[in-house]
Structure formats: C-alpha cells, structure tokens
C-alpha cells in the first residue's frame, strides 16, 4: 500500500510482461505489450483511510470487478471500465504485497488476473481465484510509478500568521480533536479531507449484519438443519451476498433464498437486502451443475 500512497498514477505489468490497458471502446480492458501509451496509465485514488484503492483509466472510468461471466459455466468474471452512479465495492481493490509484486484483491476474495494461454483467454482480464498451480502467477503484477503524488504545499509564513490571528481563542477549546486550528500544519487537514470528498456518494461504511445460512440438499426445500453457519456481511445488494456465499461455500451459480415461515418453501431474494443491518437467515440453493 505504501507504493500507492506515494503514486498519483501507475502502470501495471502482468506475469506475461504485458500492461493492463483500457481499450478504446471505453468499456473493456486487456493486456498490451506497449506500456508507453496513455491507455496503460491508471490514476490512483485512495479510499478514505483504508488499505483500498480505486484505479481510473485515461477515459475517466473505474477498473471494475463485474458480475458478468467471461464464459458461461466458468468461474472467471469480466473486469471492465465503468462509471457507476455509486462508488461501491466493485471498484475497490486491496493491494497485497508479495515480494516485489502486488496482488489486487476484491472485497469478496477474487484477484485481478491477466489470462494467458490460447484464444479466447489470451490477453483478457478477469477476476478469479486461481485453482491450478500453473496459473498462480497470473494474479501477480509489477507496479511502475508513472507520476509521484505531490503533497499540498505549506502556506507562506504571512498567510499562516493571518490564519492564526483569525482563530478566536474561545473556539480552540471546542474544536474537534482531529483539527488543529491556527497551526502551521493546516494543509494536513485538507489532505485528510480530500479522500472523504472523493468517497462522497459511496455506501456508508458500517460494521455489517450477521448472515446465518444453510445449504439446501434439494431444491424442494430440504436443508441440513445441523449445518447453519454465520458470517458478518457489509454489503446491501443481493448480488454481493451471492458472491460472498459462493466464496464461503465453494459453490457456483447458487440462488439465495429465504424460507416462508408458513409453508416452509423457498423464495429467492431480489436486488436489495432489508435495511438497518438486521440479522438474516438464508438458504443457499445450489445449481444443477454443483461445484465449480
């Protein structure tokens, strides 16, 4: 993470010695040998005070872990350029150092992956969990810093003195603990506020809700009553919960359902989860194809 705290823009070079590139259609991403083109440059945005970043292409769109499968029946999903109305977890990546290289993990445990091999996989970018030893290195990236992040300059001494004189003494005792009125480090307050401004419109961070789940043995509603498991979930969309449950269970193509208390039958959840982070009891109904 220390690399990205100092970088305003970067290039990412894959295990195949190709660069992560924003395609000219302003939607897809791929790998390209030429790292000097503007399409291979990604602007770094740090999310609040976390260890998470966003990467913005030369077209002003965010590198996004979508829910669209790259091929039907395969676990890998497309990575795209998008301009979402709300900056949710799909555009957030956690850099994880591994030696001199970096892995980029999504909120749900998949990794940014540069695919090799024969077409149509070659040069495409997905997010996935590599299951074979031969593809483990496909999620490793070299980071080349293109532009250093320049800190805000300190104000001239005369301006600092004027700022100090404008601060009423009585207000200093009532100032919040994280502010330092009248001090020479006032630009530091500005740099702390900027990430919050960039995060405006994104979901409010919270401690999440507790999800209790069972895996249905059959689609007619039979479930193992002795196998209820739980985890804390911070999302608000059913599709996000589905991705997390696939990660927890190892199943693919599942349906997330609730049990009708009157007749015991299942009915699928739609779009949004209930508000206020209330605890939920759900049933995971596997697809006919079973495990991926």
Phi and psi angles of residue 36, each rounded to the nearest 5 degrees, phi first: -90, -10
pLDDT means over runs of 10, the chain (292 residues): 89 95 96 95 92 96 93 80 93 94 94 86 90 84 91 62 59 43 40 39 58 75 63 86 86 86 82 81 77 43
Residues ≥6 apart with Cβ < 8 Å to 1: 51, 53, 95, 97
Nearest Cα neighbor of 69 from 257, 253, 254 is: 253
- What pLDDT does residue 237 have? 86
Contact between 109 and 89 under an 8 Å Cβ cutoff? The reply is no
Give the number of C-alpha atoms closer than 13 A to the C-alpha of residue 21, restricted to the C-beta side. 18
CB environment 210-225: b (16+ within 10 A), e (fewer): ebebbbbeeeebebee
Contact between 56 and 32 under an 8 Å Cβ cutoff? The reply is no
**Taking phi first (over 0 means left), then psi (-120 to 50 degrees means alpha), and beta for anything else, what does residue 100 get?**
alpha
Tokens read off for 67: 């829910």
What totals of helices (H) and strands (E) does the chain contain, helices first?
Answer: 5, 17
- What pLDDT does residue 33 have? 94
- What pLDDT does residue 260 have? 80
How many whole angstroms separate alpha carbon 195 and alpha carbon 197? 5
- What pLDDT does residue 21 have? 97
Angle at alpha carbon of residue 214, lines to 212 and 217, rounded to 5°: 170
Nearest Cα neighbor of 288 from 238, 222, 232, 219 is: 219
Angle at alpha carbon of residue 60, lines to 127 and 34, rounded to 5°: 65
Nearest Cα neighbor of 51 from 128, 105, 8, 110 is: 105
How many whole angstroms separate alpha carbon 226 and alpha carbon 59? 51
Nearest Cα neighbor of 120 from 81, 70, 80, 72 is: 70
Q: What is the pTM of this model?
A: 0.53
């Amino acid at each position: 993470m220390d690399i990205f705290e100092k970088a305003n823009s970067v290039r990412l070079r894959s295990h195949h010695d190709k660069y992560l590139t924003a395609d000219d259609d302003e939607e897809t991403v791929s790998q390209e040998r030429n790292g000097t083109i503007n399409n291979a440059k990604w602007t770094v945005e740090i999310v609040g005070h976390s260890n998470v970043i966003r990467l913005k292409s030369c077209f002003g769109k965010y590198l996004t872990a979508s829910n669209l499968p790259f091929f039907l029946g395969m676990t890998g999903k497309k990575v795209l350029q998008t301009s979402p109305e709300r900056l949710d977890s799909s555009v957030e990546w956690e850099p994880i150092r591994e030696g001199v290289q970096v892995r980029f993990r999504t909120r749900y445990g998949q990794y940014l992956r540069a695919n090799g091999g024969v077409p149509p996989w070659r040069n495409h970018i997905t997010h996935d969990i590599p299951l074979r030893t031969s593809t483990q290195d496909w999620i490793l990236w070299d980071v080349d810093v293109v532009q250093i992040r320049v800190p805000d300059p300190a104000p001239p001494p005369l301006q600092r003195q004027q700022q100090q004189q404008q601060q009423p003494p009585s207000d200093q005792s009532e100032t919040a603990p994280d502010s330092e009125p009248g001090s020479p480090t006032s630009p530091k307050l500005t740099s702390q506020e900027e990430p919050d401004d960039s995060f405006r419109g994104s979901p409010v961070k919270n401690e999440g809700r507790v999800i209790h789940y069972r895996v249905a043995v059959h689609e007619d509603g039979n479930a193992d009553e002795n196998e209820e498991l739980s985890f804390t979930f911070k999302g608000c969309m059913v599709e996000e919960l589905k991705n997390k449950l696939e990660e927890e269970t190892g199943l693919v193509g599942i349906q997330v359902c609730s049990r009708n208390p009157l007749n015991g039958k299942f009915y699928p959840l739609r779009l949004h989860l209930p508000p206020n982070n209330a605890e939920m009891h759900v049933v995971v109904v596997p697809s006919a194809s079973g495990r991926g």
